[in-house]
Amino acid sequence: MSSAGISFGGLASGLDTKAIISALVGVEERPIRALQTKKTAINKQKSLYGDLRGLLDKLSTAAKALKTTNDFLAMKTKSDDENVMTATASSTAVPGTYTAKVKTLAKAQVNSSTGSPSSTASLGGPASLQLEVGGNTYLIGVASPTLDSIAAAINEFDNQNESGVRAEVVDTGNTAANGANRYQLVVRSTQLGTQGRFTLSVDDGDAAFANVINNVAANTRTIGTDAELVLNGGISVFRSSNTISDLWPGITLDLKSEQFPTKDVTITVTTDAEATSKKVQDYVDAYNKVVDFFTEQNALDSEGKAKSPLFGDQTLRSLRSTLRTAVGASVTGSGNPAFQMLSQAGITSDTAGKLTFNRTKFEEALVDDENAVARIFTDPAKGVASTILDKIEVYTDSVDGLIKNRNETFDRQVKQTQSRIENAERRLTIYQKQLEAKYASLENLLGKLQSQGSAVGNIGRR
């Protein structure tokens, strides 16, 4: 140690002044080490609250998947001829069988030219064509007409105006007659059915341009037609799409092919107990992870000391009690006294608060009364999912949630503790320098006294 450039080491006094200073400074460092330990514990608490927030977010996600009847009751469908028609169903679909014949598919109009030897050869000077589609008439200009530039102009117009008509030049690879008809200009509707039908005509341009446009207009490869289905009872319905979702509530049909001769395709809609069970299992798993977190924070080590800095945390105790009350509540609005609590639908709780899911019992309950079982979760007033979400939001709300408030408290505590540490370190530095100066002065004084004593002794010997 040194002070003001003076070195000392107890040479005059015979004391180990460095060790003395180190020991004295060490005593004064104890409060600083205690503050550092406190700061570490606060940061650990904040980190654990971050872990809790993540677990609660996952529980919220699982609860949202069960919040409404549409979410809770999954449906499945089966078509007896998936080559012709398939179907999907939402929870609003009514279980049962539905039949329909696919007479025609919806098709988009496609026109094309008969062919040209080049896609880049000039077709004259500036030109324009007229496009009529969906009751609208559009004028499309082409500055330097070629097959490629005509297609580009039609596509650019669609990009800007959503005309619903696109074009491309197809290289057929046809080399007959030296490739006289190799390149075809194809113009097509992007909308199925009669609503996407269009007409092309020449507005202005040279003969070569007019010949190409008139050629495309005259060659309809596919007529824009609506899909036609015949429902049970012989009722014909027409739609401008092959995906139809407005015939039966909650059921979407996907038409695949036309039949000849036509026959009934049967769609069977049933409750998908497997999909619903998976949602419930996901909820139980997410809930149990939160319970496990609570248990871990209140564990003791082999010496009976708390393992976690959140041991006995009042906020955690309150949340744990809140969640247990929510999952144990009775939903009197289920409409069936036999199914008003989770335990009646195969979801039981142990002494630690963890849930156990009996899938077999749950699916049997769905068969008995799926609507009552659903309302245990989905009832807007007392349903388990809604209640859990409301309770969790009190803790996780980003504006004034309890976790946010606790984190702000942790931040303040860390800041205050760090300030105390820095102040204590400054005082300790001053204290150490004072000790160094004090002992350096002592050594200097003893050194002078020893020199004077030696001088006096030498006088007596002369």
pLDDT tens figures, 196-219: 999 999 999 999 999 999 999 999
Q: What is the pLDDT of residue 57?
A: 94
Q: Does residue 21 surpass a pLDDT of 80?
A: no
- For residue 455, is it within any domain? no
Whether 288 and 436 share a structural domain? yes
Mean pLDDT of 346-362: 93
Whether 437 and 289 share a structural domain? yes
Q: What is the pLDDT of residue 1?
A: 40
Predicted confidence (pLDDT) per residue in 220-241, tens digit: 999 999 999 999 778 999 999 9
- Cis before residue 31, ω within 30 degrees of 0? no
Q: What is the distance between the alpha carbons of residues 455 and 461, in angstroms, rounded to a whole number?
A: 10
Whether 327 and 249 share a structural domain? no
Instruction: Identify any residues that bridge with 356 across adjacent strands, giving them in sequence order.
Output: 348
Residue with the larger pLDDT of the pair 89 and 450 = 89
pLDDT band per the 50, 70, 90 thresholds, residue 9 = low
Whether 44 and 57 share a structural domain? yes
Q: What is the pLDDT of residue 409?
A: 86
0.95 exceeded by pTM: no
- For residue 327, is it within any domain? yes
SS3 sequence of 70-82: HHHCCEEEEECCC
Q: Does residue 446 surpass a pLDDT of 80?
A: no
Alpha helices in 9-128 (DSSP H): 17-64, 69-72
Whether 218 and 238 share a structural domain? no
Residue 155 Ramachandran class (φ > 0 left, ψ -120 to 50 alpha, else beta): alpha
C-alpha distances in angstroms, 457 versus 445, 446, 450, 453, 461? 18, 16, 11, 6, 7
Q: Does residue 4 surpass a pLDDT of 50?
A: no
- Give the mean pLDDT of the chain: 88
* Domain limit, last residue, from 271, 306, 328: 271
Question: Cα-flanking dihedrals φ and ψ of residue 201, to 5°?
Answer: -155, 160
Whether 69 and 96 share a structural domain? no
Domain hosting 99: range is 75-106+227-271
- List the CATH number of the domain containing 169: 2.60.40
Whether 307 and 386 share a structural domain? yes
Whether 99 and 22 share a structural domain? no
Q: Does residue 110 surpass a pLDDT of 90?
A: yes
What is the number of other CB atoms lying within 10 angstroms of the CB of residue 132?
Answer: 14
Mean pLDDT of 86-94: 89
Number of folded domains in the chain? Answer: 3
Predicted confidence (pLDDT) per residue in 397-417, tens digit: 888 888 888 888 888 988 898
Residue with the larger pLDDT of the pair 460 and 124 = 124
- For residue 359, is it within any domain? yes
Lowest mean pLDDT, pick from 21-30, 42-51, 203-212, 226-235? 21-30
Whether 301 and 394 share a structural domain? yes
Q: Does residue 3 surpass a pLDDT of 60?
A: no
Whether 327 and 300 share a structural domain? yes
- For residue 351, is it within any domain? yes
Q: What is the pLDDT of residue 453?
A: 65
* Domain limit, last residue, from 208, 238, 271: 271
Whether 40 and 134 share a structural domain? no
Q: What is the pLDDT of residue 451?
A: 67
Q: What is the distance between the alpha carbons of residues 173 and 26, in angstroms, rounded to a whole number?
A: 91
Residue 409: strand, helix, or coil: helix
Whether 47 and 121 share a structural domain? no
The 10 Å CB-count burial string (b at 16+, else e) for 155-190 is: eebbeeeebbbbbbbbeeeeeeeebeebbbbbbbbe
Q: What is the pLDDT of residue 329?
A: 87
pLDDT band per the 50, 70, 90 thresholds, residue 460 = low
Q: Are 240 and 231 in contact (CB under 8 A)?
A: no
Residue with the larger pLDDT of the pair 102 and 447 = 102
- For residue 13, is it within any domain? yes
Q: Does residue 462 surpass a pLDDT of 60?
A: no
